Structure 1
Amino acid sequence: MKVKVESSRIVKPLYDAAAPAPEWMPLSVFDTATYDESIAIIYAFRPPNPPSAAMELGLARTLAVYREWAGRLGVGPDGRRSVLLSDAGARLDEAAVDAPLAAAAPFIIRRRPSPEVKRLHPSVDGAPAEEELLRVQVTRFSCGSMVLGVAAHHRVADGQATAGFLVAWGLATRRGGLLPAVGVPVRDRATRFVPRDPPLVEFPHRETEYKAPPPPAKIKSGVAGEDDDDDELGAAPAHDKIKMHKVHYTKDFVARLKSRASSGLPPSRRGRGYTTFESLVAHLWRAVTAARGLGAAATTTRVRIAVNGRARMRPPVPRDYFGNLVLWAFPRCDAGELVARPSHHAAELIHRAVAGIDDAYFRSFVDFASSGAVEAEGLVPTADAGEVVVCPDMEVDSWLGMSFYDLDFGGGCPLYFMPSYLAMEGTIFLVPSFLGDGSIDVYVPLFENHLEEFKKICYNIA
Structure 2
Amino acid sequence: MAPPISADAATVEAASVLVAATPVITPNEMVCKDAPAPAVSVVSKQAVRPVGASAVRDLKLSVSDMPMLSCHYIQKGLFFPPPGVPMASLVSSLVASLSRALDVFPALAGRLVTLHDDSIVIRYDDTAVEFYQAVAPALSLVDFLVPDADVPTTLTNGLFPMDRTVSYDGHSRPLTSFQLTVLGDGAVFVGFVANHAVVDGTSFWHFFNTWAGLCRGAPVREPDFRRNFFGDSTAVLRFPGGVGPTVTFDADAPLRERILHFSALAIRELKATANRWKRTGQDAEVNGKLVHDSKVQGDRGEISSFQSLCAHIWRAVTRSRRLLAADSTTTFRMAVNCRHRLRPAISPLYFGNAIQSIATTATVSELASNDLSWAAARLHATVVAHEDGAIRRAAAEWEAAPRCFPLGNPDGAALTMGSSPRFPMYDGNDFGWGRALAVRSGRANKFDGKMSAFPGQAGDGSVDVEVCLSPDTMACLLRDDEFLQNVSSPSP
**Matches of 2:369 and 2:139 in 1, distance apart?**
48
In structure 2, the partner of 1:318 is 347
In structure 2, the partner of 1:113 is 151
In structure 2, the partner of 1:239 is 253
In structure 1, the partner of 2:24 is none
| CA positional deviation for 1:426 | 0.3
- Letter in structure 2 aligned against 1:443: E
In structure 2, the partner of 1:210 is none
Distance 1:352-1:195 versus aligned 2 partners, 3 A rule: farther
In structure 2, the partner of 1:51 is 90
Distance 1:434-1:428 versus aligned 2 partners, 3 A rule: same
Of 225, 236, 240, the match for 1:187: 225
- Letter in structure 1 aligned against 2:260: V
Cα deviation, 1:49-78, whole Å, max 9, x if unaligned, reads 661111101111111111111001120344
| Other structure's SS at 1:381 match | coil
Cα deviation, 1:420-459, whole Å, max 9, x if unaligned, reads 3454100111111223332211111111111111112222
CA contact (8 A) 2:134 2:182 kept: yes
**Matches of 1:455 and 1:110 in 2, distance apart?**
10
| Other structure's SS at 2:39 match | coil
**Matches of 2:313 and 2:113 in 1, distance apart?**
39
Report whether the alignment pairs 1:152 with 2:198: no
| CA positional deviation for 1:29 | 1.0
TM alignment of 1:37-436, pairs within 5 A: 37-48=72-83, 51-99=90-138, 101-106=140-145, 111-115=149-153, 116-126=155-165, 128-129=169-170, 130-175=172-217, 180=219, 183-189=221-227, 191-194=228-231, 235=250, 239-240=253-254, 242-265=255-278, 273-293=302-322, 296-370=325-399, 373-374=400-401, 379-384=402-407, 387=408, 391-405=412-426, 406-421=428-443, 423-436=446-459
| CA positional deviation for 1:239 | 1.9
Cα deviation, 1:206-258, whole Å, max 9, x if unaligned, reads xxxxxxxxxxxxx99xxxxxxxxxxxxx946x623x21122211111111111
- Letter in structure 2 aligned against 1:26: K
**Matches of 1:446 and 1:33 in 2, distance apart?**
24
In structure 2, the partner of 1:7 is 44
**Matches of 2:210 and 2:199 in 1, distance apart?**
15
CA contact (8 A) 1:70 1:88 kept: yes
CA contact (8 A) 1:3 1:95 kept: yes
**Matches of 2:371 and 2:120 in 1, distance apart?**
46
Cα deviation, 1:116-170, whole Å, max 9, x if unaligned, reads 1011111322453320110111011243321011111111110011101011011
Cα deviation, 1:303-327, whole Å, max 9, x if unaligned, reads 1110101111112211111111001
Most deviating of 152-161 and 126-135: 126-135
Distance 1:361-1:135 versus aligned 2 partners, 3 A rule: same
TM-score with structure 2 setting the length: 0.77
Cα deviation, 1:337-363, whole Å, max 9, x if unaligned, reads 112211111111101111121011222
| Other structure's SS at 1:265 match | helix
Distance 1:390-1:310 versus aligned 2 partners, 3 A rule: farther
Distance 1:452-1:12 versus aligned 2 partners, 3 A rule: same
In structure 2, the partner of 1:24 is 58
**Matches of 1:453 and 1:159 in 2, distance apart?**
31
Report whether the alignment pairs 1:459 with 2:480: no
CA contact (8 A) 2:61 2:120 kept: yes
| CA positional deviation for 1:266 | 5.6
**Matches of 1:266 and 1:46 in 2, distance apart?**
47
CA contact (8 A) 2:141 2:183 kept: no
Of 445, 448, 458, the match for 2:468: 445
**Matches of 1:21 and 1:167 in 2, distance apart?**
22
- Letter in structure 2 aligned against 1:101: S
Most deviating of 423-432 and 119-128: 119-128
| Other structure's SS at 1:73 match | strand
CA contact (8 A) 1:390 1:425 kept: no
Distance 1:303-1:123 versus aligned 2 partners, 3 A rule: same
CA contact (8 A) 1:39 1:152 kept: yes
| CA positional deviation for 1:390 | 5.7
